[in-house]
């Protein structure tokens, strides 16, 4: 419903515009509004799950990773490499509480992450 406070649920429903780059029945991906790399997309399950702590469904979690590798292949950076990140809760730096996987590419990533 329109009053749902979850930002990514609202994007999934098309209530908030996003640059969608990938869609399946269960998963979608869109450009991050504040990209941290030349290529930075957010991959989400369409159904609301707040954090990685809130699911034990290997299919749900696996689909996020498979979406990342499919995008990497499609966009041509699979061989060069990329970074996938799931931030969880305060110490992980999570700011949007709808489970999502960051896919970053287009530059050499640093390690350890900040
Ligand atoms: P996290 O800090 O892991 O919870 O990541 C949330 C991400 O969502 C950040 O990288 C934000 O830049 C991104 N973000 C926030 N609002 C939007 C939006 N409306 N459209 C696309 N990305 C967004
Ligand atoms: Zn949500």
Query: How is the chain split into domains, by residue range?
Result: 7-105
Residue nearest to atom 15 of ligand 1 (CA): 33
DSSP β-bridge partners for residue 31: 41
List pLDDT tens digits, range 9-33. Answer: 999 999 999 999 999 999 999 999 9
Q: State residue 114's pLDDT score.
A: 86
Architecture per CATH, 7-105? 2-Layer Sandwich (3.30)
pLDDT band at 2 (very low <50, low <70, confident <90, very high): low
| Tokens 């869609």 sit on residue | 23
| Tokens 């700011």 sit on residue | 95
- Mean pLDDT calculated for residue range 36-61: 98
Helix (H) or strand (E) holding 66, with range, is: helix 58-75
pLDDT band at 4 (very low <50, low <70, confident <90, very high): confident
Q: Is 100 a catalytic residue?
A: yes
- Mean pLDDT calculated for residue range 23-49: 98
Which of the following is catalytic: 40, 48, 100, 102? 100
What rounded mean pLDDT belongs to the chain? 96
Look up the pTM and report it: 0.97
Contacts of 60 (CB under 8 A, 6+ apart): 26, 45, 47, 49
**Ligand 1 and 1: CB distance under 6 A:** no
The verdict on whether omega for the bond into residue 112 sits within 30 degrees of 0, i.e. cis, is yes
List pLDDT tens digits, range 103-114. Answer: 999 999 999 998
In this model, does residue 50 exceed pLDDT 60? yes
**Ligand 1 and 41: CB distance under 6 A:** no
- Per the CB < 8 A criterion, the answer to whether 68 and 82 are in contact is yes
**Ligand 1 and 33: CB distance under 6 A:** yes
CA gap 44, 27 in Å, rounded: 6
CA gap 12, 19 in Å, rounded: 11
Half-sphere exposure of 63 (CA within 13 A, CB side): 19
């Amino acid at each position: 419903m329109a009053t749902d406070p979850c930002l990514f649920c609202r994007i999934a429903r098309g209530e908030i515009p996003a640059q969608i780059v990938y869609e399946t029945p269960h998963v979608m991906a869109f450009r991050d509004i504040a990209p941290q790399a030349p290529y930075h997309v957010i991959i989400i399950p369409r159904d609301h799950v707040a954090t990685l702590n809130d699911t034990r469904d290997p299919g749900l979690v696996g689909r996020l990773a498979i979406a990342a590798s499919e995008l990497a292949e499609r966009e041509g950076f699979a061989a060069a490499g990329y970074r996938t990140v799931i931030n969880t809760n305060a110490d992980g730096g999570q700011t949007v509480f709808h489970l999502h996987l960051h896919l970053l590419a287009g530059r050499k990533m640093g390690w350890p992450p900040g």
